[in-house]
C-alpha cells in the first residue's frame, strides 16, 4: 500500500494501524533473511505504537503520516535504540536522543519499524562493507542493492515498508534507489536537519526519503524538511506543501538540459537509450530538450575523494574507545588503547578513508589537496549555476550501470567511480531525485536522475509526478 492509502485507510477505519504494522513485521520475518535489509527490528514497540494509534484515533486524525511504517538508516538516531552506522565500533551504542527527522516523523504519527543496514559509516556504494553483512538486492538476490543506504532502498523495494529514510553524501540515496527500482531524493544541502545524523562529511551529508511513488516522497519531505536551530547549516526557508497540487504542472516550454559529460563513454548503452527515449517522450509532450555542458564534471570524483575523506577523518576522531562504543583497553597506556580500539573497531574502508583524509589535511599538504579541491568544488558549483540560467531541470542517468554482482567490484577506485553521476550535485549542494525508469533486458532496474536548482524540490516533485503519469503503463513495475 502507498502512504496515502495507509493514512486514509486508518483514518476511515477500514484498516487498523496495528494490522499494518503486523503485516510489515510478518513480511520482514519471512523474507528479510535473504535480503538482510534490517540491522534491528522494533517488533514490540512498533505493535504498541500501532495499538496506541488505534485507541486514540479521534485525536490523531490530522496526522500526516498516521500509522505509516517507516524504516530508518542505522546512522540516524532513534532515542533508546541501538544505532550502529554499520560499524563494529558502535555495535552496542544506544542513542540518547531522537534525530530531528525522527522527532518530526513521530510527531506526525509515523511508526518506526527498525533500522536499516548500510556501508560502514556510509562509506561505499554497495552495502558490502557493513559489519552486519551485506544487503542483497530484492530484485536479484545475487546482486548488490547499491549503497550506502542499501538497506533502506531494499526494505522499500522488497515491500517490507512503504518508505524509508537514508542519507546521501555523494549518492547514497540516489544510487541505491536506482539499483532497487524505487524513488529517492537527496534534498538541497541544509533543507533537512542533520541533527542526530552520524556525521560522515558535514559539508555534504543530507538526509532524504525513499518511497514507491513521487507523492509519498513529497509527503515525507513535508514532514522532515525545515529549519532546525540544532543544525547550524540548516536553511531558514519556508517549507512548501510539496504534495499539495503536485499534479498542477505544465510541461509545455519546460527546458530540460542533457549534459554531454553524462552520456559519454562508460555509460551502459541500454541505460543511455532508455534515458534518451524518455527525453524524446518529454519533447513530444511539449518540453524543450537542450544539450548542455558541465565542463568540470570530470574533476568531481577526485574532488569528492579529497573533501569527503578529509571531513570524515575529522568526524571519526571521536571514536576513541573512551567516549563511545567499542573499547580495547589492553594497551600499555591510553594512546595505545586508542590505537587498539580503532584497529579492531573500524573496517578496512573506514581506515582507508581516515588515512587519506588525515594525509590530505596534514600540514604541508593542506594547500595542495584540500584547499585545491575546495576551489575546484566552486567551479563545479558554478557549472550548475550557469546551466540553470538556461534550463529548468537537468536529466542524467543516476548510475552508469545496472546493479552489479555481490563481490564483483573489489578495488576501491572502481567502487568510487560508481558515483560519477551523483557526486557533482552533492558538491554543488543541489537537490537530486532518482526516478525508477524501468528495467533493462535482464530485468534489472534503470534509474533516471532529475536535478534542479537549489531549493527546487517542489518543482522536481511536480515534474517527477508528471513523468510517472506519462510512463505509468509502461514502466511502473518496480518492486
Handedness of CA 471, 474, 476, 479 (dihedral sign): negative
Q: Residue 171, interface with ligand GLN (CB under 6 A)?
A: yes
Question: Does residue 200 interact with ligand GLN by CB under 6 A?
Answer: yes
**148 lies in the binding site for ligand GLN (CB under 6 A):** yes
Residue 256, strand partner residues: 289, 393
The one catalytic residue in 18, 63, 64, 73 is: 73
Element (H, E) at 165: strand 163-168
Nearer Cβ to ligand GLN (124/445): 124
Catalytic site residue 73?
A: yes
Pick between residue 148 and residue 297 the one whose CB is nearest to ligand GLN. Answer: 148
C-alpha dist (Å) from residue 370 to 119, 353, 366:
24, 14, 5
Asked whether position 117 contacts ligand GLN by CB under 6 A, the answer is no
Is residue 404 within the footprint of ligand GLN (CB under 6 A)? no
Of the pair 227, 299, the CB lying nearest ligand GLN is at: 299
Half-sphere exposure of 465 (CA within 13 A, CB side): 21
Task: Please identify, using beta-carbon distances, which residue of 240 and 412 lies nearer to ligand GLN.
Answer: 412
Does 128 bind ligand GLN (CB under 6 A)? Our answer is no
Residue number, nearest CB to ligand GLN: 172
Minimum CB distance to ligand GLN smaller for 225 or for 308: 308
Work out which of 49, 98, 168, 222 binds ligand GLN, going by CB under 6 A: 168
Q: Does 169 bind ligand GLN (CB under 6 A)?
A: yes
Q: What is the DSSP letter of 333?
A: S
- Catalytic residue, chosen from 167, 172, 234, 426, is 172
Binding to ligand GLN (CB under 6 A) within 299-318 occurs at 308
148 classed as catalytic: yes
* Least distance in angstroms from the C-beta of 287 to ligand GLN: 30
**What is the rounded CA–CA span in Å between residue 399 and residue 320?**
36
Q: Are 408 and 149 in contact (CB under 8 A)?
A: no
Find all residues with CB under 8 Å of 411, minimum gap 6, and list them: none
Tell me which stretch binds ligand GLN (CB under 6 A): 20-28, 167-175, 368-376, 387-395: 167-175
Residues, the chain: 479
Q: In this complex, which beta carbon is closest to ligand GLN, that of residue 25 or of residue 197?
A: 197
**Binder to ligand GLN among 49, 120, 222, 419 (CB under 6 A)?**
419
The one catalytic residue among 37, 126, 130, 148: 148
CB of 126 to ligand GLN, least distance (A): 9
Question: Which residues fall within 8 angstroms of residue 7, CB to CB, at 6 or more apart?
Answer: 63, 64, 65, 66, 67, 68
123 binds ligand GLN (CB under 6 A): yes
Pairing of strands 69-73, 111-116: parallel
* Interface with ligand GLN, residue 189, by CB under 6 A: no
Comparing CB distances to ligand GLN, the nearer of 110 and 118 is 118
Q: Compute the distance between CA of residue 389 and CA of residue 287 in angstroms, rounded to an integer.
A: 16
Region binding ligand GLN by CB under 6 A among candidate stretches 154-162, 168-176, 209-217, 460-468: 168-176
Q: Which three cell numbers stand for residue 62?
A: 490530522
How many angstroms separate the CA atoms of 113 and 355, rounded? 36
Q: How many residues bind ligand GLN (CB under 6 A)?
A: 13
Minimum distance, C-beta of residue 220 to ligand GLN, in the bound complex (Å) = 19
Q: Could you give the angle at which helices 214-224 and 3-11 cross, rounded to 10 degrees?
A: 70
Least spacing, CB of residue 307 vs ligand GLN, in Å = 10
Scored b (16 or more CB within 10 A) or e, 62-79 reads: ebbbbbbbbbbbbbbbbe
- By CB under 6 A, tell whether 432 contacts ligand GLN: no
**CA pair distance 34, 138, nearest whole angstrom:** 9
| Residues 143, 150: Cα–Cα separation, whole Å | 11
Among residues 35 and 173, whose Cβ is nearest to ligand GLN?
Answer: 173
Our finding on whether 122 is near ligand GLN (CB under 6 A) is yes
Q: How far apart are CA 218 and CA 244, in angstroms?
A: 9
**CA 325, CA 86: separation in Å to the nearest integer?**
13
95: its cell numbers:
542513542
172 binds ligand GLN (CB under 6 A): yes
| Cα separation, 380 vs 391, whole angstroms | 17
Binding footprint of ligand GLN on the chain (CB under 6 A): 122-125, 148, 168-172, 200, 308, 419
Q: Return the active site residues.
A: 73, 148, 172
Amino acid at each position: 500500500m502507498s502512504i496515502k492509502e495507509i493514512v486514509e485507510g486508518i483514518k476511515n477505519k477500514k484498516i487498523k494501524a496495528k494490522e499494518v504494522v503486523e503485516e510489515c513485521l510478518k513480511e520482514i520475518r519471512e523474507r528479510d533473511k535473504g535480503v538482510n535489509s534490517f540491522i534491528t527490528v522494533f517488533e514490540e514497540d512498533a505493535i504498541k505504537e500501532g495499538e496506541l494509534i488505534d485507541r486514540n484515533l479521534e485525536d490523531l486524525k490530522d496526522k500526516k503520516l498516521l500509522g505509516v511504517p517507516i524504516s530508518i538508516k542505522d546512522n540516524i538516531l532513534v532515542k533508546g535504540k541501538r544505532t550502529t552506522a554499520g560499524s563494529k565500533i558502535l555495535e552496542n551504542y544506544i542513542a540518547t536522543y531522537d534525530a530531528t527527522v525522527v522527532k518530526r516523523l513521530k510527531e506526525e504519527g509515523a511508526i518506526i519499524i527498525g533500522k536499516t543496514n548500510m556501508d560502514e559509516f556510509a562509506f561505499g556504494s554497495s552495502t558490502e562493507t557493513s559489519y552486519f553483512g551485506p544487503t542483497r538486492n530484492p530484485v536479484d538476490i545475487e546482486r548488490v542493492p547499491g549503497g550506502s543506504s542499501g538497506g533502506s532502498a531494499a526494505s522499500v523495494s522488497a515491500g517490507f515498508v512503504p518508505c524509508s529514510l537514508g542519507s546521501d553524501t555523494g549518492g547514497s540515496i540516489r544510487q541505491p534507489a536506482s539499483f532497487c527500482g524505487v524513488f529517492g531524493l537527496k534534498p538541497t544541502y541544509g533543507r533537512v536537519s542533520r541533527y542526530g545524523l552520524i556525521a560522515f562529511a558535514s559539508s555534504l551529508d543530507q538526509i532524504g526519503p525513499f518511497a514507491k511513488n513521487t507523492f509519498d516522497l513529497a509527503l515525507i519531505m513535508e514532514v522532515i524538511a525545515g529549519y532546525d536551530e540544532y543544525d547550524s547549516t540548516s536553511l531558514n526557508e519556508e517549507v512548501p506543501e510539496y504534495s499539495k497540487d503536485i499534479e498542477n504542472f505544465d510541461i509545455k516550454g519546460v527546458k530540460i538540459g542533457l549534459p554531454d559529460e553524462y552520456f559519454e563513454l562508460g555509460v551502459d548503452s541500454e541505460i543511455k537509450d532508455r534515458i534518451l527515449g524518455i527525453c524524446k517522450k518529454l519533447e513530444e509532450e511539449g518540453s524543450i530538450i537542450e544539450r548542455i555542458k558541465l565542463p568540470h564534471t570530470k574533476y568531481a570524483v577526485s574532488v569528492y575523494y579529497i573533501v569527503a575523506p578529509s571531513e570524515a577523518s575529522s568526524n571519526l576522531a571521536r571514536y576513541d574507545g573512551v567516549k563511545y562504543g567499542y573499547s580495547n583497553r589492553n594497551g600499555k597506556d591510553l594512546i595505545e588503547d586508542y590505537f587498539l580500539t580503532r584497529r579492531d573497531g573500524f573496517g578496512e574502508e573506514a581506515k582507508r578513508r581516515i588515512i587519506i583524509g588525515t594525509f590530505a589535511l596534514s600540514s604541508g599538504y593542506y594547500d595542495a589537496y584540500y584547499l585545491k579541491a575546495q576551489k575546484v568544488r566552486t567551479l563545479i558549483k558554478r557549472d550548475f549555476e550557469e546551466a540553470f540560467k538556461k534550463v529548468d531541470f537537468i536529466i542524467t542517468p543516476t548510475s552508469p550501470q545496472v546493479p552489479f554482482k555481490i563481490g564483483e567490484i573489489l578495488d576501491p577506485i572502481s567502487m568510487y567511480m560508481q558515483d560519477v553521476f551523483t557526486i557533482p550535485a552533492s558538491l554543488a549542494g543541489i537537490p537530486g531525485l532518482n526516478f525508477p525508469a524501468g528495467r533493462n533486458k535482464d530485468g534489472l532496474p534503470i534509474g533516471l536522475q532529475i536535478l534542479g536548482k537549489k531549493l527546487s524540490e517542489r518543482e522536481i516533485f511536480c515534474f517527477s509526478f508528471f513523468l510517472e503519469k506519462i510512463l505509468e503503463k509502461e514502466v511502473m513495475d518496480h518492486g
